[in-house]
């Protein structure tokens, strides 16, 4: 394949990618409206009309942001890189699976949002039993998951085909990372699929009267924690593979990058108990073991931080900079394709530190179910990941639609990034602080009969509301930027795939030995979960009937 052919993105593949990206940002817009309103309700600045419940909004926000915006963006982004790096074009079957996946996910999303807005499913994005939603809400979620599976199969199919035709060759880094991201997703979703199909759907239809609550929560978090790495890994793909190219540098080490992804595959699933540390029904030993494994899954993030610093420093030295932070001066600060993901990285330092606090058993007792946790994930997923995704669209949309990024849009992109950072500093900063003062998450405005603690929380809640309004301006601006990108001048934009530094050692073959890695992942899951599941299933405590609490 010639160079000029490579730089033109396949038009049919482009349509599949853009369909996913636009759907994702549609979800961000609606989710953003709900987010802003929630912030304003909590700040005591507005009251909702009687027919809209706070939990209805919060469910719409959590589902549209955390499940829909992310999944659509990720599938679109991964398909784009897989098409680009594995042959320059999707195989017909891979593309077909991508489209069928898209249609199933979209039917699921539309049904889900309608059921939520009808007030029949205010069970939040974690849909904990014994709160009971309409069965159609769970069916809608199942459609989204099945759709995403098909998209994953499309990626596996393209990868297998490439390897058959390129035996002995190392697969492209982007494709390798996409396969791990989707493998992680396939294994993780088994937990939530079991919960929805075996427990929630029969119970919400009334075919069975009661539900085993701890078991359902445990199945949820078997999925819920790796879910957060399903969001993170595509951002890491951008940091490892795309950013070096955008700054004009090199990938520090191909093997280190692959190893860190393997560690995510191994350690991100057997750790769900760190969300259940304060729950009865699970013995201390298993919580302890999963906390140890949680600290293991921090290692690949530390490796990533190390590798990014190395990429930046190598680039700086190649430009003649000296000293520990000399490289900071030569980075392309005025290029939004770099600036937005970089702010994501920078914010990931305090965001990750907050995660370590959450995972520490004693400190979890202080922060669990407070707004601190909400602050934690608005830094991780809603800033580090979201800003990276925003940064990607400034080159991805031009690449797949055959257009170019103009200086004006670049400038608007920088402004959008700054607005997001300021809004999030205010919102997440006050969530963290007021969380430490005890203010609970998942609550509407309440002064608890003018209790002094609740009165003390109010100024922070007001700051949160102001941050939320600024963030919503950021949502409007990113939507405006996307519309402008769709109408940008025609031209050719190169897909930015980084090259590995010459100084790096060749990548060992065992990193692509899937049988080995999947086996180890399964063994770790079996060790961490088998006995707890046997205990939970054999538990003789009576199950719970369903409650509609809203
Ligand atoms: Fe978390 C709760 C622990 C990471 C998301 N987390 C949540 C929830 C969400 C979430 C959504 O143990 C709430 C769920 C709910 O609704 O109840 N989290 C962790 C730990 C990590 C972590 C140990 N979380 C994430 C990521 C998320 C995410 C990533 C989304 C994308 N989290 C918890 C725990 C809870 C929790 C408990 C339950 C709390 C409770 O009680 O309910 C770790 O993976 C973090 C590791 C990260 C680092 C940072 C590495 C830094 C890097 C940047 C380098 C920067 C550069 C630039 C190079 C150690 C890679 C530098 C430039 C310069 C100029 C300096
Ligand atoms: C929860 C505001 C963007 C994911 C919340 C809450 C507020 C809020 C105030 C807390 C409600 C409570 O605990 O009572 C906003 C605003 C945003 C924004 C103003 C920007 C306009 C995002 C993004 C994501 C996200 C981009 C993810 C990609 C979540 C999740 C929850 C949440 C998962 C938890 C829902 C729950 O507890 O069930 N948001 N948010 N948010 N937000 Fe956001
Ligand atoms: Cu977790």
pLDDT > 90? residue 205: yes
| Tens-place pLDDT, residues 24-65 | 999 999 999 999 999 999 999 898 988 899 999 999 999 999
Q: How far is the C-alpha of 417 from the C-alpha of 344, rounded, in Å? A: 9
Q: How far is the C-alpha of 238 from the C-alpha of 316, rounded, in Å? A: 20
Six-digit token string for 22? 């636009």
What separation in Å is there between the alpha carbon of 275 and the centre of ligand 3? 6
- For the CA of 301, the nearest ligand: 1
Is residue 349 lining ligand 1, measured as CB closer than 6 Å? yes
pLDDT > 80? residue 442: yes
- pLDDT band at residue 337 under the 50/70/90 scheme: very high
- pLDDT band at residue 7 under the 50/70/90 scheme: low
What separation in Å is there between the alpha carbon of 512 and the centre of ligand 2? 37
Nearest CA to ligand 2 atom 38: 124
Q: Which residues surround ligand 3, an ion (CB under 5 A)?
A: 225
Q: What is the pLDDT of residue 187?
A: 96
Q: What is the pLDDT of residue 21?
A: 98
| Tens-place pLDDT, residues 216-244 | 999 999 999 999 999 999 999 999 999 99
- Which residues are registered as beta bridge partners of 500? 251
Q: What is the pLDDT of residue 3?
A: 40
pLDDT > 80? residue 300: yes
pLDDT > 50? residue 6: no
CA–chain centroid gap for 398, Å, is 23
pLDDT > 50? residue 5: no
pLDDT > 50? residue 1: no
Is residue 373 lining ligand 1, measured as CB closer than 6 Å? yes
Nearest CA to ligand 2 atom 13: 442
| Positions marked active-site | 225, 229, 376-378, 441-442
Over residues 198-210, the mean pLDDT reads: 97
Q: What is the pLDDT of residue 541?
A: 84
- pLDDT band at residue 95 under the 50/70/90 scheme: very high
Residue of 58, 373, 381 to mutate, ligand 1, most atoms within 8 A of C-beta: 373
| Tens-place pLDDT, residues 346-376 | 999 999 999 999 999 999 999 999 999 999 9
Residues near 486 by beta carbon (within 8 Å), at least 6 away in sequence: 18, 397, 401, 403
> CA torsion sign, 159 to 179 to 237 to 337?
positive
> CA torsion sign, 202 to 140 to 72 to 478?
negative
What separation in Å is there between the alpha carbon of 528 and the centre of ligand 3? 15
Q: What is the pLDDT of residue 535?
A: 92
What separation in Å is there between the alpha carbon of 251 and the centre of ligand 2? 34
- For the CA of 260, the nearest ligand: 1
What separation in Å is there between the alpha carbon of 132 and the centre of ligand 2? 22
Over residues 521-526, the mean pLDDT reads: 95
Is residue 143 classed as helix, strand or coil in its secondary structure?
Answer: helix
Burial code (b: 16+ CB inside 10 Å, e: under 16) for 285-313 equals ebbebbbebbebbeebbebbeebbebbbb
User: If we measure between CA atoms, which residue out of 288, 429, 423 comes closest to residue 354?
Assistant: 429
Over residues 380-407, the mean pLDDT reads: 97
Nearest CA to ligand 1 atom 52: 305
Q: What is the pLDDT of residue 502?
A: 81
Q: Which residue has the higher pLDDT, 506 or 381?
A: 381
């Amino acid at each position: 394949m010639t160079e000029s052919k490579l730089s033109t993105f396949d038009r049919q593949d482009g349509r599949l990618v853009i369909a996913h990206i636009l759907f994702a940002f549609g979800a961000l817009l609606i989710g953003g409206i709900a987010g802003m309103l929630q912030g304003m309700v909590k700040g005591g600045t507005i009251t909702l009309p009687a027919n809209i419940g706070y939990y209805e909004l919060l469910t719409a926000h959590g589902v549209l942001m955390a499940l829909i915006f992310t999944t659509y963006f990720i599938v679109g982004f991964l398909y784009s890189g897989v098409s680009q790096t594995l042959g320059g074009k999707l195989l017909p079957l891979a593309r077909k699976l991508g489209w069928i996946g898209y249609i199933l996910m979209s039917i699921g999303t539309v049904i889900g949002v309608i059921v939520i807005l009808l007030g029949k499913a205010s069970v939040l994005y974690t849909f904990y039993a014994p709160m009971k939603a309409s069965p159609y809400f769970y069916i809608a979620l199942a459609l989204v998951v099945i759709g995403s599976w098909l998209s994953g199969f499309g990626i596996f199919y393209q990868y297998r085909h490439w390897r058959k035709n390129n035996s002995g060759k190392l697969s492209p880094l982007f494709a390798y990372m996409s396969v791990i991201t989707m493998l992680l997703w396939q294994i993780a979703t088994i937990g939530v699929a079991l919960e929805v199909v075996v427990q929630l759907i029969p119970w919400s239809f009334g075919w069975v009267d009661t539900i085993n609550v701890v078991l359902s929560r445990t199945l949820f978090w078997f999925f819920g924690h790796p879910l957060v790495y399903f969001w993170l890994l595509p951002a890491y793909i951008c940091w490892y593979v795309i950013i070096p190219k955008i700054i004009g540098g090199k990938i520090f080490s191909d093997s280190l990058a692959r190893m860190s992804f393997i560690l995510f595959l191994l350690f991100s699933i057997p750790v769900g108990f760190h969300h259940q540390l304060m729950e009865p029904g699970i013995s201390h030993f298993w919580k302890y073991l999963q906390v140890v494994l949680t600290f293991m899954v921090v290692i690949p993030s530390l490796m990533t931080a190390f590798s990014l610093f190395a990429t930046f420093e190598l680039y700086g030295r190649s430009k003649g900079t000296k000293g520990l932070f000399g490289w900071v001066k030569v980075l392309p600060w005025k290029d939004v394709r770099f600036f937005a993901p970089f702010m994501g990285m920078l914010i990931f330092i305090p965001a990750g530190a907050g995660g370590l606090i959450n995972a520490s058993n004693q400190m979890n007792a202080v922060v669990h179910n407070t707004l601190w946790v909400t602050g934690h994930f608005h830094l991780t997923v809603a800033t580090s990941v979201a800003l990276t995704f925003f940064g990607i669209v400034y080159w991805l949309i031009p690449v797949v639609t055959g257009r170019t990024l103009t200086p004006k849009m670049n400038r608007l992109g920088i402004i959008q990034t700054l607005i997001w950072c300021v809004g999030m500093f205010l919102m997440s900063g006050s969530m963290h602080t007021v969380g430490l003062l005890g203010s609970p998450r998942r609550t509407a405005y309440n002064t608890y009969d003018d209790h002094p603690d609740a009165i003390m929380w109010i100024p922070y809640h007001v700051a949160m509301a102001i941050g939320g309004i600024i963030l919503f301006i950021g949502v409007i601006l990113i939507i405006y930027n996307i519309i402008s990108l769709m109408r940008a001048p025609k031209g050719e934009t190169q897909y930015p795939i980084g090259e590995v530094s010459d100084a790096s050692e060749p990548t060992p073959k065992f990193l692509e030995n899937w049988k080995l890695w999947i086996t180890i992942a399964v063994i770790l899951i079996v060790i961490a979960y088998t006995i707890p599941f046997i205990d939970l299933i054999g538990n003789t405590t009576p199950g719970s009937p369903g409650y509609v609490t809203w």
